[in-house]
Each structure stands twice: as structure tokens, then as C-alpha cells.
A and B are shown apart, each in its own frame.
Chain A
């Protein structure tokens, strides 16, 4: 077999999707899988609020409720919003930096399939004797000792290890891509904000996820192999898990929110027709938030008894994050100042994001205060706070991003009328749901309670909160209807539907598989806008038209992930089945795939200039 085949491998249908290494298709896979898990997490949320609609209800039992809250948190964070973020990073970042693909297309596919099978493994727990029920934070000894939690916790430990590997691979891939694959002239200080935030998020993933992996391995050893890392009766220490978990868990918050900051920056700037106000300080603030994000994990542990010195140091470090975050808020406001603001659906989400996220930030500063946090900690005040940040911040950002980039990713428009209904129902529903929860917490309602007793004045707040969820549900349903409508519509999106500023709008929608027929030359911040202002029709090419090297599709990432999926069950059920053989078979499949990948050199294929012309005309 020759090293360079010149014919593009023809693959279609399901086989194409299972073997693709194209970042744009992987992006769509991430969006699809993330969207499905988002629905799972949403249904769990609906059941949670239904159970809490009235006091002392028995809609679902106590243990089922704990499974619901655990899976709601775990699913939403690891399986819904993270993949959607990765979906955008895949679909958009290479286009924004003028690259033809990511640095490691094979690893990119592997990252997706690991995440997918990890998430699938975790969710099969519902059918196999009960989901994890110890909260997404999985505190020891509740989670570490099989005496207190059943098999569900094993699904958590193994599912997240597999999914977490995928995330780590994705993070490394994007770091290398952004460092190495920028087009000529695309200096770091000309990168669009979404690329910048993806870059910092990838760096955070690189440093934070190994902590989670280590923690999960400890937990796995305690649960499956009788170790005592977290067992106080044998010299273990329950606080070690809290430290490890939050050394991962707090940066995770910024891993989630930074890309949303990036999306909001792109949308606000595009729909105000202005360059981003204070671009350099935005970049600086992003990096500072990422850095400080590693210095504040103890604010999740103020009540664990670490003493006033640790508590106040970490408390003040936490408050400091308000400064770069405030810089961002004001920069967005002044980007709009003096602009021509268009209220598209994408921009409605961005505009709705600003006050909502500000409230989340305000309560964040309040929570940073250790002595006062003794009252807030583990109450509905905290639940309200992090939903303001994660839903009011991140999910608003992601929904805005969907409306903004949908034409680029799929070549069609999401309907603006349905989109506006989507925004307003979701926005109003969101505030109805979560605003009263601040007060419920202050009035003495702990979080993660499956019910509350009558006569504690908690009825009204919970009732409003449960009704508000309907608004969010309707908003989400409208979004899915909109996607369906868009898929059916015949209207094609042009290359640059929003009068865009960044490179992704310089190429056809959807982008051809090689992205840029000729690598563009970047001559300023907002590369496309710079050319538009110079009176040019498009980007100036940095190279002559030539043959384009493309990576070959591969089925190996899929099989490699299936191997770990099987191994997960093998180890969980080893004691039930009395054998490790299934686990070993799974690992052998994965290792064999690694061997195959190492021994068999695939140098990809080339797309020749005549094919490019042809495809260019079609698109």
C-alpha cells in the first residue's frame, strides 16, 4: 500500500460518522450527543422540581431523588455542557485560526468516543439496579464505602474515568492546535476571543482533569479493591477526597464558563458592529481568571473545618476573581456603547446573559466570605448561585452560540421567530425557577433534600420555583422544534450571514472538508472585518492553490473506546461474576487498537486543486 493515496476514501451514512476524523463532523457529533444528554439531565431536573412542588410529597422516593440529583449534576456538567462546548471548539476554533483541521484528528475522534461511551456507561446505571446517589461531588465515606452506596457509585467512578480521559485528550489537542496551526499573521493577540477562551479552557483541562482522574482512581480502589484512602477507620482521611475533587472541581467551573465568555464576546461585537472594547484587557482577564481559578478551591470547603487562616486566604483569593470578571462585564457594555445593536436571537441570549451572570457573580462574592458562607453553604442559596452562573451564564451563552454559528455549522438558519420565543420562555422560566431559591436557602432550606416539612415557610418559594421550570422546559422544547424546522427548511445560509468579523465567516457555510482552499493571510484583529474595511471581497491567500493533505478516517477510535466500555462493566461486576476476564478482554481490545495504530502508518490522502474548484462551485 502506498503511503499517499490520492483518492478521497468514499464513505457515507452511519459508517462515515463512526469513522470520521473531520473536526467539523466531530463537532456535530459532540453537539448531538451533548444535546441528547442535555435532555436526559433536563428530564431529571423536571422530576426533581415535581417532587419539591409541595411539602412532604412522595412523587419519587428518597433514594430515587438522590439518584436524580446526582445524575442531573453529573450529566449536565460532564455529559451535556462540556460536550456542547467541545462541539463549538471543534466546529469553530480551527476555522477562526485559519487551520485545515486540528493538530491530532485521530485523537480528536478518540476523545469524542471516550466521552460518549463513558457517558453511556454512566447512564446505563438507571437500567442496571440504580444510578449513583451520593451527589455529583461523591464525598467520602458516603461514596467510598460500598456499605453506604450501591453499585451506582461504581458506574460514576468508571463512567467518569472513561469520559474524563476523552476530555483530557480534547484539551491537549486544542492546546496544540491553537499554538501550532494558526494561519500566517494570526498572532496570539489577533486571535478571536472564542479561540482565546478555548485556549485557556484547554490549559485548565490539562491541569485540572488529572486531579479528577487521580481522585477517581483512589475512589475506585476504595470501592472495588478494598483500599482505605478515604476510610477513617483504617487511617484514611475523608477530607483528601474533598481537596482532590475541588482542585479539579473549581477550575472545572472556569473550564465551563470561559468559552461562554468567548461566545458572548463574539456575539456582542458582531451584533453591535463594533470591535471588542478593550480586547487586550479581555485576554488578560481571561488568563487571570484561569490562573486564579486554581487558587480558590477551598471556598467549597469553608465548613469542613480547615480553620480561619485557610478560609480567609482562599476567601479573599475568590473575591479577587470578581475584578477580572467585572472587567469583562464592563467591556461588553462598552462594546455595545455607540454601536448599532441588532436584536437577533443570538444577541438576545448575549444581552440576557449580562445581568443574569452579574447576579451569579454577586452571589459568588457573597459566598466568598467564609463566616457568612457558614450560613449559605449547602443550602438553596448555593443552588441558586451556581445555576445563575451555569445556566444563566453558560447555557445562555451556548444557546446564543447555537443561533449564531448554526448557519456556519449546518449551512441553514435556525428560525428567528421561534428563537425569540425560545429566548423569552427560557429566560423568564429561568429567573422564576432560581431567583426564589436564594431566599429559600437563607430561610433555612438545605440543598439536596428530597422533601421539606410543612410549616417552615418554605412552601411558596418552592412552588414558584417548580412552576418556573415549565418555562425552561418550553424554551428547550422550542429549541428542539427549531432545530427540526431548520433541518426541514430549504433556505441555505450564505458564507457570511451576520456581517461577521472573524475568519470562519470568510468560507462557505457549511465549511468544505478542507476548510480553506488556500490558507488565508491574517492582517489584523477581526481578520475578515479588516479585509472588508480595506475594500477587499475576501481574505488574501497566503499560499498558491495546491494539493491539500487530509487525514484518513478511522474506525479505531470507536473500537478503542468500546474496549474501555466493556472493561468498565468487567471490573464493576468482577465480584458478582467472580472473574476479571471480561475486564481483561475489554482492556485487551483497547491495547490491541493502540498497537494497531502504532504499527500501521496511515499518511492520509490529498485533495487536488481540480477537486477543490469543483467542490468550491458546489458549495
Chain B
């Protein structure tokens, strides 16, 4: 039955999103617990259904039936039976429950795991690699096949950091830090989500996890570091104009490289991000839409409408599309 249920459960949903198609050791352990508990529980359910069906058919009142059924007070044997058996089933579930809970709560130092500091904001994610000296946002780069230790917190309200395919979530509490480790077994792009109601655009607070081969990750980290120190020069005239606007209007909140504010996502590798604002495909038209009216795309976010002219928007889009580090 365990096998049958595992078969039913697997293959539900999208490969890089579903908890039922685990892509790393943490999600695998959690999936094991899901299958174990749901099979035991399904067994209990079947027993209840079988007895219920039998009783309803066998003991329904027949037309014309009179008399009074025997008034049974109870049965010690039966009552002990359905007290003791659930206890035994609970013990079967409790042992792996405790073992895995402690296993997943282990903390790994920078010798065994890549350290990443996650700060949640309304409604975006900031990722800092303290040992690598990198800050980025929205797209989380990790090496595949390696443990990653996340230290999470929040800048405003409670959010929850969740990459379903890699493992369960942890709350990001303002003023407190939590730790969780995850690992992607294979390179790939995984969905990340905010799981705690955090305001109007809670539903749109998505992020992406880009798991790279370890060598590719190291190369990315190097380029990222270099780009942060000295962003690439702009090539076209439009992009140069965009950069000018960016310096005047955007840099108070957004940083490119080490220059700029920290109130909003760092844009050093913006052109390589999967999505604009975490939700729309990173195409010029959507970037333009976002710059023209951020509230319409993502209600309640903190980016003001700068009332840019279409020309200014186009120039900014040109500039932003040059922000690449990994080519």
C-alpha cells in the first residue's frame, strides 16, 4: 500500500515546484514522512469506511421493522483494542518523525555548506553570500549537490522562505534569525515562494533558485564579485541616457554593484534574472510596464511611480538590459 500511495503521490504537479517530486535530500526525507503517515492514515480510513458501509447496509431500518434493538453499554475488549492499536501506529510514526526533525535541524558551518543570508522584504528577496562578498536579489544561485545553510530574517513583516521542490519552509521573522539547510541534487531552476501572508502582493512574492554545477557556480561568483566592484561600461547612447536617469532617480533605493541604496533589490545582474518583479518574464515590454506603473503590476510594493516619459522608460529599459555578468 505504501508503494501504491507513493506512486499516486509522485508525479503530481510541476517538477521544479511540487513537493511530491523531491529534488534534494531534505525534500526527499519530508516526502518519505508524507508517504509513511498518509499510508498509515489511509489504512485507518479504509477500516472506518468498511465498518461504516457494513453497518449502514446491514443495520438500516427495514420497512415495518419494530421492536427495540439490544441496548449495548460498551465492550471493554473492543474499546481497549481501538485505544491500543492507534497508540502502536503513533509509535511507528513518532520514531522517524523525531529522527528526521533533528536531522533537518542540524546546522552546518561554512566548511560543510555554502552560507547564504536571506532577508525578506515586502515583496522581494535579498540574498547575501557573506563568505563570497556578494549581494543579489530575486534569483538565488546555489551549487548543485552541495548543502546550503540559509540564515533568514526579515526587514519588515513575517514572510516564509519556501523552495517546495528542495524542502520545507522556514519563517523569516523581523528582529530574529532562523536557520535551515537545503540542497539541490541536480542543476536546474526551481520555484521559490513566500508562504506567509505579508501584505497585498504576498501572492506575487516569488523567486527563482538557479542551481549550477559547482564549477559554474564558482565562475558565476567570481564574475559577480568583479561586476560588483566595477560594473560593465554602457555601450549604446540610449543605455548611457538610461544610466543617467538611473543615477538620478533610482539609485537612492537600488544598487548596481556596490553603488546605490539597499532599500530595494540589487540590480547588478538584472538582465540575467528570470523574471521582472518576480512574476513577469524578463522581456523589455514587461520591464517597461513595470517602470511605468509598478503598483499596477504588484500592488502595495514600495516602488514609487516616477512618472517617467515613454522615452525615459525606453532608455532605462535599454540600460537595464545591459546589466549582465555571466556571459
A→B interface (CB under 8 Å): 61-63, 66, 133-135, 139-142, 145, 148, 232-233, 236-239, 272-275, 277-281, 303-305, 307-308, 311-312, 315-316, 319-320, 322-323, 326-327, 329-331, 333-334, 336-343, 351, 354-355, 358-359, 362-363, 365-366, 369-375, 377-379, 439, 442-444, 446-453, 455-458, 533
Contacts and interface: CB of A to CB of B under 8 A. Distances in A.
B249 interface: no
Interface string B45-73: 10011011001100111000100111111
A513 B206 CA distance: 61
A373 B201 CA distance: 24
Interface of B: 9, 12-14, 17-20, 27, 29-30, 33-34, 37-38, 41-42, 44-45, 48-49, 51-52, 55-56, 59-61, 65, 68-75, 78-79, 82-83, 86-87, 90, 93-94, 97-98, 100-105, 122, 156-158, 160, 162, 164-165, 167-171, 173-176, 178-179, 191, 193-204, 206, 279, 299-300
A340 B157 CA distance: 57
Contacts, number: 292
Contacts of B48: 329-330, 333, 354-355, 358
Nearest to A373: B168
Contacts of A304: 171, 173, 178
Given A237-B175, A334-B78, A365-B41, A279 B52 contact: no
A281 B102 CA distance: 36
A281 B174 contact: no
Contacts of B104: 308, 371, 374
B203 A62 contact: yes
B193 A327 contact: no
Contacts of B60: 340-341, 343
Contact of A308 (B38, B105, B173): B105
A214 B72 CA distance: 47
Contacts of A447: 195, 197
A149 B19 CA distance: 32
Contact of A371 (B86, B168, B195, B202): B168
A141 B164 contact: no
Contacts of A374: 30, 104, 167-170
A272 B59 contact: yes
A571 B18 CA distance: 47
B122 to A, nearest CB: 8
A372 B28 CA distance: 10
Given A305-B173, A342-B61, 19 more contacts: A141-B156, A141-B174, A232-B175, A272-B69, A277-B73, A303-B160, A334-B75, A338-B70, A341-B60, A354-B48, A355-B48, A363-B41, A371-B29, A375-B34, A378-B169, A442-B13, A446-B193, A446-B194, A457-B14
A238 B170 contact: no
Nearest to B70: A338
22 contacts: A61-B299, A62-B200, A62-B201, A133-B200, A135-B197, A139-B157, A273-B69, A281-B79, A319-B90, A327-B79, A329-B48, A330-B82, A334-B72, A343-B60, A369-B33, A369-B97, A375-B164, A378-B196, A443-B14, A443-B19, A448-B197, A451-B204
A278 B74 contact: yes
Contacts of A145: 157
